[in-house]
Amino acid sequence: MARAGWQVRLAAAGMPVAGPPDQGDGRHRPLTALEDAYHLVSALGDAATVLGAVAFLVWLWRVRDNARVLSGRPPRHASAWVYAGWIVPVANLWVPRGIVADVHRASAPGERLPRAVNWWWGLWLAGMLSGVGMMYTGITDSVVERAYRDVPLLLAADAAVAGAALAGTFVVRALTAAQQRRIDASPGPGAAPAS
């Protein structure tokens, strides 16, 4: 969201008379103070994104293993897909959601998939397809130029990804709670069988 704030500030300030930061043919003009600050905010945002992605993948790996133990069945997707599912083109449009849905089915058989899963995945795809993927394919200077020229598209993508992150917290809570309920309901080791 900090990036979005800076993108609005860049759009409000307007492109300098000297033109975009990347002048073409390998030439760059000196950055303004606002553009320099955007580079810092962008770098901090990138670091936060990496940390969040690592934390999510560690959680996903663990709940996937828990689901396998709870259900007694192997997962539908091979282990490599927990990571590769996010980066393999075309497969990244459905594999991560499929892994999460599979974890839920194995952890809470017979329960409906939490709505947060579909909101999370829909917002994630909307953000990626509407501009985030386009926004982060280039260098930060190209994002600065886009902020000067077409800030609404960048803001829409930022809003979708922020919504996906919020919905993602509900996904984590729902799947973790489902597994905890299943664990609490199962008899512990050494428990006497019910008569």
Stretch 3-16: mean pLDDT:
91
- Does residue 137 surpass a pLDDT of 70? no
Give the predicted TM-score (pTM) of the model.
Answer: 0.82
List the chain domain ranges: 2-13+48-183
Measure the CA–CA gap between 57 and 80, rounded to whole angstroms.
Answer: 12
pLDDT digits (tens, 9 = 90+) for 113-132: 999 999 999 999 998 887 65
The partner residues of 24 in beta bridges, in order of sequence, read: 27
Q: How much of the chain, in percent, has pLDDT values that exceed 90?
A: 60
pLDDT band at 154 (very low <50, low <70, confident <90, very high): confident
Residue 133: is its pLDDT beyond 60?
no
Write down the pLDDT at residue 65: 95
Buried b (16+ CB within 10 A) or exposed e, 79-105: eebbeebbeeeeeeeebbbebbbbbbb
Q: How many CB atoms lie within 10 A of CB 3?
A: 22
DSSP annotation of 146 reads H
pLDDT of residue 111 exceeding 60, the answer is: yes
Specify which of 34-43, 111-120, 136-145 reaches the highest per-range mean pLDDT.
111-120
Assigned token pair, 173: 């809570």
Question: How many Cβ atoms sit within 10 Å of the Cβ of residue 13?
Answer: 13
For the chain, report the end-to-end CA distance as a whole number of angstroms.
57
Task: Answer yes or no: is pLDDT of 195 > 50.
Answer: no
Question: Which uninterrupted H or E stretch holds 28?
Answer: strand 27-28
pLDDT value for 73? 92
135 pLDDT band, cuts 50/70/90, is very low
User: What is the tens place of the pLDDT at every residue in 50-102?
Assistant: 999 999 999 999 999 999 999 999 999 999 999 999 999 999 999 999 999 99
Secondary structure element (H or E) that encloses residue 24, with its range: strand 22-24
